[in-house]
Amino acid sequence: MRLLDQVVIVTGGGSGIGRAYAERLVLEGAKVVVADRDGPAVEEFARVVNESTEDERAMAVTADVTDESEVQNLVSCARERFGRIDGLVNNVGLYPHTAFEDVSPDEWDRIMRVNIRSTFLCSQAAVPAMREAGRGKIVNIATNLIWIGLPGMVPYVTAKAAILGFTRSLAKEIGPHGITVNAIAPGAVIGEPDALEGQSADTLHRIVGFQAIRRPQSQRDLLGTLVFLLSEDSDFMTGQVLTVDGGLTVH
C-alpha cells in the first residue's frame, strides 16, 4: 500500500472519476475524506468503505467547494476526524458545451467558480495543516484541452488553463514548506457523465483515432498517475502537469 494511513481529501468524489479516485486511494491504504454537494452519494460511499474495513477509513462531507465557509468546514472536519491532512485532490469540475457567442456572463462566472475558485479555496484551506506537518501533496485536475483548445468549451478550457498557472505558481511559493503541487491533464474519459455530451459515435472514434494508444480512455487510466503524485515517489517533483490522454496531444 503506497498511501498507508495518509489522509487525503477528494473533492467531487460522489460519482464519476472522483469516486474512482477515492476508491483507489482507499485500496492504497489512505484515509479518504470525500466531499461533494451530493450528500447521499458521499454518505453511501463512506458507509460501504467503512463496513468493509476494520477501522473507519472514509469520511463523507457534504460541501459546495465554491463556498469559503463550507470549504473551511470541510478541512476542519477532516482534521478533527483524522488529525491531519496529507493530500488534497482538487477534482470537482464543470464542463458544459456551449458556443462562445451563446455563453452568458453568469454561465462564464459559474464555470470559473466551480473549476478554479474551488481549487483556490480548497488549497488555501488545506495548506496550513500541511505546513504544520512539514509536508503535503496537492493534485489539481486540469484537462489535455489546455494544450489544443476545443470549440464550444472556451470557458472550461480557460478555467483549466488557469489551473496550470495556479499549479506552477503555488508550487514555487509553498515548496519550501515541503508541499508539492502538481496537476493531471486527462483526455476525454469515455463514460464520464457529460464529458462527451452530445457527441456522436463517429466523434468518439475520431478522438481515439488521434491517440497514439488506439482505445477509449477509462477512469482506471488516471488512477496510477494520481497515486504516484500523492505518494513519496514524487517527493522531488512539483509544479508539473502530467498529461494522460493516450498520446492525443503529443507534439
The answer on pLDDT for 151 being more than 70 is yes
The residue that leads in pLDDT, 251 or 10, is 10
Percent of the chain with pLDDT over 90: 89
Percent of the chain with pLDDT over 70: 95
State the pLDDT at residue 197.
53
Place of cell 461533494: 36
Over residues 168-194, mean pLDDT: 90
Where in the chain are the domains?
7-244
The answer on pLDDT for 154 being more than 80 is yes
State the pLDDT at residue 9.
98
Over residues 179-187, mean pLDDT: 98
- In 63-122, DSSP assigns E strands to 87-90
**What are the catalytic residues?**
156
The answer on pLDDT for 28 being more than 60 is yes
- Which superfamily does 7-244 belong to? NAD(P)-binding Rossmann-like Domain (3.40.50.720)
Over residues 154-168, mean pLDDT: 98
Over residues 160-175, mean pLDDT: 98
Work out whether strand 87-90 and strand 58-62 pair parallel, antiparallel, or are unpaired. Answer: unpaired
Specify the length of the chain in residues.
251
Cβ–Cβ contacts within 10 Å for residue 220, how many?
10
Q: How far apart are CA 139 and CA 142, in angstroms?
A: 10
Torsion of CA 160, 163, 164, 166, to 10 degrees: 160
The answer on pLDDT for 218 being more than 60 is yes
The answer on pLDDT for 163 being more than 60 is yes
State the pLDDT at residue 191.
59
